[in-house]
Structure 1
Amino acid sequence: MSDTGEATGLADLLRARIRDVPDYPEPGVMFKDITPLLADPVAFAALTEALAETTTRLGATKVLGLEARGFILGAPVAVRAGLGFVPVRKAGKLPGATLTQRYDLEYGSAEIEVHAEDLAPDDRVMVIDDVLATGGTAEASLRLVGRTGARVVGVAVLMELGFLGGRARLAGSLDGAPLEALVTV
């Protein structure tokens, strides 16, 4: 969004529909539940429009959504922007030839993958997810895109949990592409 007033109004609308759930999934955690936002057609449409505008402005040719809520946000953004959608799944969920990227979690590791043929070197990719927390999954997705030869033109999230340091973690992996968060907590 280019206008500061519009951006503030959108952030307020979105923030009002994100519910805090204390002590979930474990004691001491304040979970940010976006399901009330998804259930509100006005807020969901405004979110989709804002992300689609960013995607178009950055010249993306494909939208990449991270499992699972990145699918919910990224698919309608791709439709609205007139682009293809590429899901990044947890390992073992995609049939056929895939590229896999392993990454570290706080306790252990995980793997994500994408179909090997879904991205080409001439693709300009917009990565979309619901939340940027520690940045591990987003960083792994940037590595996956790089391995296909495609170029990331931006990363956009509904909400950034700034206190978890995800932005700093991604700084070296973005290669000049912007990271945009509609709401920062």
Structure 2
Amino acid sequence: MAKYDKADIERRMKGAIDSLKGDLSGLRTGRANTSLLDPVVVDVYGSMMPLNQVATVSAPEPRMLSVQVWDKANVTAVEKGIAKANLGLNPMIDGQNVRLPMPDLTEERRKQLAKIAGEYGEKAKIAIRNVRRDGMEALKEDEKKKEISEDDQKRGETEVQKLTDQYVTETDQLVAKKEQEILSQ
């Protein structure tokens, strides 16, 4: 078992938050957001490439995304990649530009997306609790090996619990903000 390392515990909990932020940014809110296209991959030059390596994505209007394809030969591949990503967007080719109007979200779809945001939050909290468990086990192990005193173990456990509470609270805030964003359009 590894020795207790507060910095590692904090880094891993922060990683869970960063992962949650990435997941939440991919959820559509009815407002154009360039990160919506982050998961899109395009089949160009015989390999699968992320969209941002073959085009520039921008949001020129609140309800429109614009994808400026660098190589005219890749416009159709970009359109197919966006369609395959199953984001509920309807790509329209306009020269070397692919325009993506954002359709209105139905009330049912909004509730679905809010529920998904909640699930992402729950996943993040589970990851944070797993990191807490690892930290607590490392502290018990260190105390058992007489590498730290019982008082140090208790202090360490308090530290780990404080970090856990802090990151769980941050998770709840991120999810609540995203749910509010989704439901209030």
Which structure is higher in helix share? 2
Under a length normalisation based on structure 1, what TM-score does the superposition of the two structures give? 0.23
Under a length normalisation based on structure 2, what TM-score does the superposition of the two structures give? 0.23
Which structure is higher in strand share? 1
